[in-house]
């Protein structure tokens, strides 16, 4: 799922090249509803486009759209005290607070959680990104 038709076209090209069957959906994360219960939600560097007023509601929607026992793998950029806002950060992106992501999954099992600082030179200027990866599992039994 991506809001960009170009991004989805690239995804389809790569899948075809690698002999993988996929289905892409063009949608905005801010009002996206999973078309059917998901077993795995894998999101790398995209939840920063969820507007802050949609965080609570958005994660609740993603959780509700996930099968019992299903897993979410979420990579999110975070506001870290020692990492300045990167030069490639845009007005439509929003940092999460350190540790905030876990709060949206309070009743899910945490399989892995880690913080990282990544070096990047996209845009031609070396800079760092602070990020968190959270791997969580929807309990088999409703809580
Ligand atoms: C940093 S890229 C990550 C792409 C992909 N996850 C990857 O690892 O290659 C961020 C992606 O978020 C998409 N995006 C931006 N705003 C979005 C929105 N409101 N809803 C859904 N996707 C959005 C962009 O088109 C872009 O493909």
Distance separating alpha carbons of residues 35 and 125, to the nearest angstrom: 40
Question: Distance, CA 140 to ligand 1 centroid (Å)?
Answer: 30
Distance separating alpha carbons of residues 133 and 103, to the nearest angstrom: 13
71 - beta bridge partners? 40, 137
Which tokens belong to 18?
């690698």
Does ligand 1 lie within 6 Å of residue 4's CB atom? yes
Residue to mutate (ligand 1; options 1, 2, 89; most atoms within 8 A of CB):
2
* The pLDDT value given to residue 123: 83
* The pLDDT value given to residue 57: 96
- pTM: predicted TM-score of the whole model, two decimal places: 0.94
CA 28 to ligand 1: nearest atom: 20
CA 30 to ligand 1: nearest atom: 19
Does ligand 1 lie within 6 Å of residue 65's CB atom? no
* The pLDDT value given to residue 131: 98
**Is pLDDT at 19 greater than 90 in this prediction?**
yes
**Is pLDDT at 143 greater than 70 in this prediction?**
no
Question: Distance, CA 142 to ligand 1 centroid (Å)?
Answer: 31
If one compares 123 and 70, the residue with the highest pLDDT of the two is 70
Written as one string, the DSSP assignment of 2-54 is: BS-HHHHHHHHHHHHHTT------B--GGG---SS-EEEEEEES-GGGS-GGG
**Is pLDDT at 70 greater than 80 in this prediction?**
yes
**Residue 77 neighbours by CB distance under 10 Å:** 22
**Is pLDDT at 126 greater than 70 in this prediction?**
yes
3-class DSSP assignment, residue 105 = coil
Residue whose pair of structure tokens reads 């958005």 in the numeric block? 58
Q: Break the chain into its structural domains and give their ranges.
A: 38-137
State pLDDT tens for residues 72-124.
999 999 999 999 999 989 999 999 999 999 999 999 999 999 999 999 998 88
**Is pLDDT at 141 greater than 80 in this prediction?**
no
Which tokens belong to 30?
């801010």
* The pLDDT value given to residue 142: 61
Distance separating alpha carbons of residues 122 and 120, to the nearest angstrom: 6
Q: Would you identify the CATH topology of the domain 38-137?
A: Rossmann fold (3.40.50)
């Amino acid at each position: 799922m991506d809001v960009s038709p170009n991004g989805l076209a690239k995804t389809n090209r790569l899948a075809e090249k690698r002999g993988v069957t996929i289905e892409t959906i063009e949608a905005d994360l801010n009002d996206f509803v999973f078309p059917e219960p998901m077993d795995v939600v894998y999101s790398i560097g995209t939840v920063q486009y969820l507007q802050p007023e949609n965080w609570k509601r958005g994660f609740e929607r993603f959780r509700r759209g996930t099968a019992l026992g299903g897993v979410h793998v979420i990579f999110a950029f975070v506001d870290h005290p020692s990492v300045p806002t990167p030069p490639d950060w845009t007005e439509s992106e929003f940092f999460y607070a350190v540790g905030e992501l876990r709060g949206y999954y309070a009743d899910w099992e945490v399989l892995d959680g880690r913080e990282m600082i990544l070096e990047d030179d996209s845009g031609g200027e070396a800079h760092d990104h602070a990020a968190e990866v959270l791997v969580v599992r929807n309990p088999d039994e409703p809580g």
